[in-house]
Structure formats: structure tokens, C-alpha cells
Structure 1
Amino acid sequence: MEQRREPAMPAGPVGGSAAWTVPQVIMRDDWICRLSDSDVAEIDAAVADSRARGLAITEIERDDFPLDRLTARLGALRAQIRSGLGFGYIKGLPVWRYDRETLLRIYWGLGRHIGDPVTQNRNGHLIAHVIDVGDRAGDNKRLTQSNAELCFHADSCDVVALLCINRAREGGESMIVSAVAVHDEMMRRRPDLLPELYKPVYMDRRGEVPDGKLPWFGMPLFTWHRGQINGYAPIRQYVESLARFPDAPRISNAQMAALDLFYEICEEEEFCLRLQFEPGDIQFLQNHVVFHSRTGFTDWDEAEKKRHLIRLWLSLPDGRLLPDSYAEKWINIERGTRRGGVPTMTPPVIPLDPMARAYG
């Protein structure tokens, strides 16, 4: 009889700089880049230069958005995101000064100093508006364009960025957690359950089905590859909605118990860093080592005051080597290419309208 091969796992807790807890993070501020007036002046000059050269937003490369002294600070922030804590913040961008096109040009230009944008949905959106357009949990769509609470998860890219334009009237708090710290805590508490998360966790693709693929897929929550831990946490509702496919694999009791413990630890005060977005904040998260969520929110009645975040998905050309299992979701995992994102035949676009639906 052929023996079933168990997935590779680390022999003990992984630790390292990415295995942070809340008490450790709040004692430091090297993950925050605060913009000064001179920094903003450099950004404005880069915008003017890109326009003078006739560049469309999508034509702007890193060198097309030159920043003098700010470049070194963004480099340090990028290093923190790529190989330090796994996340970083820019604070103090005066978003109220700019029209929509200028703001997107700035956001794109700053993002190019971190990585390469990839498409986020089947409509080819390179920048997505995270705003409540009326979608709800039962609509078989992503929940980001609703006011629903999101559980801890990771996006299909190396780095996800979120720029805050408006806060909600109430709620909408951002929460992040170290995937490595949660992994190590699970190993301490329930070493018998942790291996279940090294097996494929099956989930609904929610309508974004690449050519030749099934409408559902399986991917381990944790992988151990070339001496590094990688995390890919699913939105729990996508695991639960897998039940609508009668031929899809069913989750085992042991794996459900492991997921329950995983989400429970993510929400504990020691591990869950809660951050209230302020207008002008940009949050960068490396999805392989940091999971994110948000609380549900109550919005403003006025359209111009609605909670509004703008999202970039970025590929790191010098990012980590990824295990083959990622190809089931990412399709392309090749280092040095624009990898991840949502494959689509639709030409890439940047929608200016925040109420543009991701699903057409």
C-alpha cells in the first residue's frame, strides 16, 4: 500500500522578526513613515513631472516618480514589509488637497516604490475602491464592497496596500495579526491540530474562475518552504459557501477544529493589532506573513462621506520563492515576474468612480 506523505513542517516554533505580538509592536515606530511638508512637496513635484512627460497613471514606473529624500525612507519601509515585521504605514498624505485623478496618480507612484501592481478582479482593475456598494454576504461576491465584518485572511498578491480617503461613521477598524506568531502559538497549544492547516483548505472562488479550473480550490493555510513559513488564510465565509458545490471536498472535523482555534487566536488581544484608519494613511501588508481583517461598520448617509479605501495589489520582483501549492490560486508564482492577482483577458484599467463594481 502506498504511504501517504505528510506535508513538511518546521520542527518547532519559527520565531523571527515577523513573529511579533501587539505589546512588541506598539513599543516601536520604525514601521511608520510620517510625511513632512517637504515630503509632500517632493510628491507634488513627482506628480507634476509625470504629467509634463505625458505619462498615464499606468505608464508610471518607479523611476518615473522620482522622490529625493523620501526615496530612502520608502526603501527602509519596503525592507520592513519584505523582510522585517511584514507591514508598514505611510501617514500624513493630505488627501483632501487632491482631485481623484491626482490622488490615484500619487498612490500609484508611491506604490511603485514598493512593487508592481497586478489586477485585482476579472474586470482588470489595477486599483480597487473598497466602499460599500450594497453587496451582502449571500451575493456570491467578495465582501470588501459591503459593510460586513471580515475575518482574518490574506489576498492573492505579495503585498496589499490600502489608502484611506474617508472613515466610516462608526466601526470599520483595521485589524492585523502576525501569521507566524499565530502559527507558533497554535504549535504550543495544540500541536495535534496544527498539521491540519498544512493540508489543503478548500474554499469557494466566488465566481473568479481561471480557465481550466474548478469553481473551488484547495490551498494550505500554512506551508513550510525553503526554510520559510508562508501563510494564506481564507475568508471563513468562502470556506462555508463551498457547500453550494455538491462535488467539492468536505472539511473534516479535525480541520474545522484547527480553523476555529486559528481564528480564535487571531482575535486575541496579544496578537490582534487594531488600527483605526485616518484619512491619508496607507497600510502595506505582506500577505505571506501578515493576515488582516476589519470590523463591520455603519456608514454616513452622504455619498461623499462614505467610508472609502483605495486598494493596490503589488507583486515584489525580489519576493520570496513560493511553494507549488500557491499556483492553484495565484496561477503564476514565478519570482521576478508580475505574479499573483486575478488572471483576466480584460485590459487593465484604473476606475475613477469609487462606486464602480468589481464584478461589472
Structure 2
Amino acid sequence: MKTELKAVSNQSNQELATLANCAAAWKGDELLNSTYWNYQLTSVEVWEIEAAIRNLNHPQNIDNSDIQFNQFSKTLAKVSEELENGKGAVLLKGVPVDRYSEEEIAKVYLAMCKLMGTPIRESNSDFDSPRRNQTQFITYIRAEAADSTQEGKQSNDAFKLHTDRCDANSLLCIRQARTGGENYLASAMTIYNEMRQSHPDIAEELLKEIPFFFEGENNWTTYPLWCIHKGKFTTQYSSAYVSLSQLIPEAPRLTEKQKQGLELLQEIGLRVGIKIRLEPGDWLITNNHVIYHSRTSWPIEPGQYDRLLLRTWYTPFNSRELPDTQSFKTFWGEVEAGKPKGGFLPNHPTPPDQPITEPLSETDAYWLAKYMKGRWRGVDNIK
């Protein structure tokens, strides 16, 4: 693995220049120039969504075979191209969330995501948080407690720039808070390019594998923060899981340059990114290989200001190939282009696009229990 990463970091100036000038290496308001940023759904597309909801509600439509998206499916095919080979982020507006129940919207939302790829199990599935109102493929993002240490409950905490363990992260806004709850997006490729210019030695360190807190054996693994594979960039990062790994004595220690690099990542990201505020009916999708996202906190209120987003993770049909190395296979389960990968327990015998219905093995259950204790109450509780 070290040889491969060294080869990546010594790519030719021409190859690096190509990456620096690609569409996904945007700054701030440059994202607004995308055709599918602030794209307003047409009346035909809204009609197709509402027709799909009616079909989903029909008692004889058991397998959803009567759902038809004609014009909208063509639009979403172009959206998929923008996500994989364009700027890596899209914002669609006008999903009719105000005219239907949360359950109806959740059903059609999942059906729309399936037009672009294969939904995968989310990390907040029933094993993780049994009190949440969700399936293994849709998470209801809402604040259930003001304290993130309350096990199994979502909080209104602010999150730093990070990625999720999925190819594409999809958020549909049902309700927004009165204040707060903004999202922030930043191009990982722009951060990488900026750091290569200002701190090349530090950027080089982030091409090496760093430790992550993990639900698998020993509760830690290693993974490169940045990697370039077959001309495409990929990143994976969560400050919480990197920090938690450092509380496990057996996990590798971060180097000083890696610590500096992780601080620079946040600093540069806030400078070159863009803050957005989703409104009801807004559908935000990001490519996790090239886009970092974060959020601000918000006050917990009942009623119309009870902030609610529906989240789905999915593997696009046109998703990129990842390196065929042990660290990537441990982290993702699958590395082939277009194959469902990542999500919750990616190496479980049940494929990531199927729900886990059987009890976990004794080994999986053991390490997952330790992982959850560490995730909610700190790594000093995993022993």
C-alpha cells in the first residue's frame, strides 16, 4: 500500500494540473454556476412525483411496479452525471413535501433515489439507534436531545466538515428550524490543491493512511484521507472517528504533520466553501468522494420548526472504482465501480443494499457493542 500511495503523490504535473482544473475543484459561489444547483423542478416533474405517490398508496401496488418517472428520470440521469463528473453537488428545489405525509414522502423519496443508484444500509440503522423512526435505508434526521451523549438519540450538535461512508449522500428537507441548521459544503479537491500549494509537505502526509475508529475487529482501521485512483480523486474523513481512534492504545498515532493537516482541512474548507440553508422541498445530493459537508446547530422546537431531513445513502450506477487494497476493502466492503458499497457493516455477509434481518454473529455483535459504547460515551467505556 505504501508503494501505491507514494506513486500517487508523485504523479506528473500534467496529471495534477488536470485534477486542479476539473469541475469538482470549485470555490464558493462557483458552485452556483452548475445547471443543477438551485434547479427548480418543472410542473411535469412534480406531477410525476405526485402520480408516483398515488401509485405507492394503491393497495394493489405491492411491488411498486406501477411507478413511472419519464421526464424526471431523464433529469436525474443528468444529475448523476453532474455528481460523478461535474461539480459533485446538486440542489433540486420544489419536491412537494408539504402536501403529503412524512411516510408518503419517504416512500417516493426512496423510489427517486433508486432512479440514480442503489440505496445502502445507513450507519444509523436499528442496531445503532433502535429508538429512531427509520428503516435501514432512510434516516429521519431530527433533534431528539440537546445532549449528544444520550445513547441512541440524535442531537442538534454542529458537525465539522466531514464525509459519510457512502458514494452519494442525499438529503431531502421536510421542515427547517426557525434559525440555524445551515449546511456548509466544500470541495475536497480544492482543499487538497490549496494545501499542496501552501503546505506541500503536510498535504503529502494526508496521502498516507491514518487511523479511524471503526466497528470492525479491534475497533480501529487505517485509511488514506486522500487518494487519486485512475485519474479520480477520493476522500474519506470524520474528525470524530479519527480523534476516537487516538484513545485506543493499539491504534497508530497521528503524526504532527497529519494533525496540522486535519486542522488546515477545516480552515481552508471554511474559506473556500459555501454555506447554504435548505428549505422545505429542497433536495441536496453530494458525492462523498469529492465533497465535505458540515452543519450548524439549531434550537429544538416542536411543530412547524421541528427540523426534519430525510437522508438516504446510495451507490450511483455510474460511481467510480476505488483502489483494490485491503484498507479500501475493509472500509467499503466492495471497490468495483457501480457496485453497492460502504454503509453500515459493509463487510457483513448480507450485501449492503439489503437489510440485515438476522441476529449479528457473536464476533460482529461483540465489536459493534464496543464501538457503540465508544461512539456514544467515549472510548474509555469500550473495555
Structure 1 partner of 2:300: 299
Report deviation, 1:46.
2.1
Is the contact made by 2:36 and 2:92 (CA closer than 8 Å) also made in structure 1? no
Q: 1:87 to 1:5 in 2, by over 3 A?
A: closer
3-state SS of paired residue (2:261): helix
Structure 1 partner of 2:283: 282
Q: 1:3 to 1:104 in 2, by over 3 A?
A: closer
Q: TM-score, normalised by structure 1?
A: 0.85
Is the contact made by 1:7 and 1:198 (CA closer than 8 Å) also made in structure 2? no
Q: Tell me if 1:265 matches 2:259.
A: no
Q: Pick one of 189, 196, 204 that aligns with 2:205.
A: 196
Structure 1 partner of 2:219: 215
Structure 2 partner of 1:156: 165
What pairs up with 1:6-25 in 2 under 5 angstroms?
6=6, 8-9=8-9, 10-11=11-12, 12-13=16-17, 14-15=19-20, 16-25=22-31
Report deviation, 1:99.
1.1
Q: 1:263 to 1:313 in 2, by over 3 A?
A: same
Structure 2 partner of 1:313: 313
Is the contact made by 1:147 and 1:297 (CA closer than 8 Å) also made in structure 2? yes
3-state SS of paired residue (2:249): coil
3-state SS of paired residue (1:267): helix
Note the aligned Cα RMSD (angstroms).
Answer: 2.7
Distance 2:316 2:44 in 1: 28
3-state SS of paired residue (2:206): helix
Q: 1:295 to 1:228 in 2, by over 3 A?
A: same
Q: 1:93 to 1:5 in 2, by over 3 A?
A: closer
3-state SS of paired residue (1:40): helix
Distance 1:140 1:7 in 2: 43
Q: 1:5 to 1:74 in 2, by over 3 A?
A: closer
Structure 1 partner of 2:247: 244
Higher helix proportion = 2
Structure 2 partner of 1:232: 236
Report the more deviating stretch, 83-92 or 338-347: 338-347
Structure 1 partner of 2:137: 126
Higher RCO (CA 8 Å, separation ≥ 6 residues) = 1
Q: Which amino acid aligns with 1:265?
A: I
3-state SS of paired residue (2:201): coil
Q: Pick one of 53, 57, 74 that aligns with 1:72.
A: 74
Report deviation, 1:4.
11
Distance 1:17 1:40 in 2: 29
Report deviation, 1:174.
0.7
3-state SS of paired residue (2:292): strand
Report deviation, 1:6.
3.0
Q: Tell me if 1:46 matches 2:52.
A: yes
Distance 1:153 1:248 in 2: 21
Q: Which amino acid aligns with 1:262?
A: L
Distance 2:332 2:102 in 1: 30
Distance 1:55 1:80 in 2: 33
Q: Tell me if 1:36 matches 2:42.
A: yes
Write out per-residue CA displacement over residues 303-347 of structure 1, whole angstroms, 9 at most, x where no aligned residue: 563111110000123311101332222222233432211126797
Write out per-residue CA displacement over residues 171-198 of structure 1, whole angstroms, 9 at most, x where no aligned residue: 1101111111111111111111101111
Distance 1:283 1:154 in 2: 14
Structure 1 partner of 2:112: 110
Distance 1:219 1:104 in 2: 33
What 5-or-longer segments of structure 1 have no aligned partner? 350-358
Write out per-residue CA displacement over residues 241-293 of structure 1, whole angstroms, 9 at most, x where no aligned residue: 2233222222111110111111110111xx21111010111101010111111
What 5-or-longer segments of structure 2 have no aligned partner? 127-134, 357-371, 377-383
Q: Which amino acid aligns with 1:237?
A: A
Write out per-residue CA displacement over residues 112-140 of structure 1, whole angstroms, 9 at most, x where no aligned residue: 11211000035261101111122744467
Q: Tell me if 1:81 matches 2:83.
A: yes
Structure 1 partner of 2:93: 91
Q: Which amino acid aligns with 2:261?
A: A
Q: Tell me if 1:348 matches 2:351.
A: no
Q: Which amino acid aligns with 1:252?
A: T
Distance 1:245 1:166 in 2: 39
Write out per-residue CA displacement over residues 36-58 of structure 1, whole angstroms, 9 at most, x where no aligned residue: 333211111123334447445xx
Question: How many matched pairs?
Answer: 335
Is the contact made by 1:160 and 1:312 (CA closer than 8 Å) also made in structure 2? yes
Distance 1:308 1:224 in 2: 35
Q: TM-score, normalised by structure 2?
A: 0.80
Q: Which amino acid aligns with 2:89?
A: F
Q: Which amino acid aligns with 1:216?
A: W
